[in-house]
Amino acid sequence: MALQTLKIILCAALIFFCGAVPCSSARKTSPVLLVKVSFLLNFMKFTEWPASVFPPADQSLLLAVLGEDPVATQIKQSLEGQLVSDRTIQVAIYANLPAWQQARTMPHALFVSESMSRQWTEVLALLVSHPVLTMADFPNFCAQGGMLNLVPHGDTIHFEANPGAAKKVSLSLNAQMLQLAEIVSTTKEIAP
């Protein structure tokens, strides 16, 4: 029953995003990008951060996007201002690793674009012990210590989850969400 509820929520989010994009923009936007963005929103909704991560007066959830792939623009357009547990999503896009390092901000969630896949180990080293939900859409992300990864499967998108990587930094991924995922363990430990 709970698994069915989660599937309905994921489908409803997809319908919301498809309906929320203006018609002129929808013609220019790939349906695959809209599906990816829908997944990202739900990943954040089904993640629990330690209470200490959010200062009492802060009502925002910072999502950083690393890389300037088309998905980065779609994430900004679709997720900026959305709510996750009464917190407003703020999206910051960084073209590359030096730009993110220069900003000196640690986000609550991080999406690593495929164009940044070769630098993932460097990014992960910067995140050690920080409760940052890591998400991506490139091969072996979860096996290399990432938490949630979007995987194309024919005409659909599936996702992988590495709950061990999340637990390591005190994040909790919803058990119902994990039932829909292919569970992956970290196979390559990256030294801090």
CATH of the domain at 70: 3.40.50.2300
Given pLDDT bands bounded at 50, 70 and 90, which one contains residue 19? very low
Check residue 188 and give its pLDDT.
65
- The rounded distance, in Å, linking the Cα atoms of 90 and 81 is 6
| 26 belongs to a structural domain | yes
Number of domains in the chain: 1
The SS3 of residue 163 is helix
For residue range 62-108, what is the model confidence (pLDDT) as tens digits?
A: 999 999 888 999 999 999 999 998 899 999 999 999 999 999 999 99
Mean predicted confidence (pLDDT) in 11-33: 52
- Residue 37's domain comprises 2-183
The answer to the question of residue 131 being in a domain is yes
Which whole number is the average pLDDT over 17-42? 68
In a domain, 192, yes or no: no
Instruction: Give all strands of the β-sheet with 148-153 in edge-to-edge order.
Output: 83-84, 87-94, 60-66, 109-112, 133-136, 148-153, 156-161, 182-183
Is a pLDDT exceeding 50 seen at residue 20? no
**189 within a domain of the structure (yes/no):** no
Q: Average pLDDT for residues 126-145, to the nearest whole number?
A: 95
Q: Does residue 89 form part of some domain?
A: yes
In a domain, 138, yes or no: yes
Is 188 within a domain?
no
Mean pLDDT (the chain) is: 86
Instruction: Considering only residues 3 and 141, tell me which one the structure prediction assigns the higher pLDDT.
Output: 141
Please report, in angstroms and rounded to a whole number, the separation of the first and last CA atoms in the chain. 41
Q: Is residue 191 assigned to a domain?
A: no
pTM for the complete prediction?
Answer: 0.84
Secondary structure E strands in 18-119: 47-48, 60-66, 83-84, 87-94, 109-112
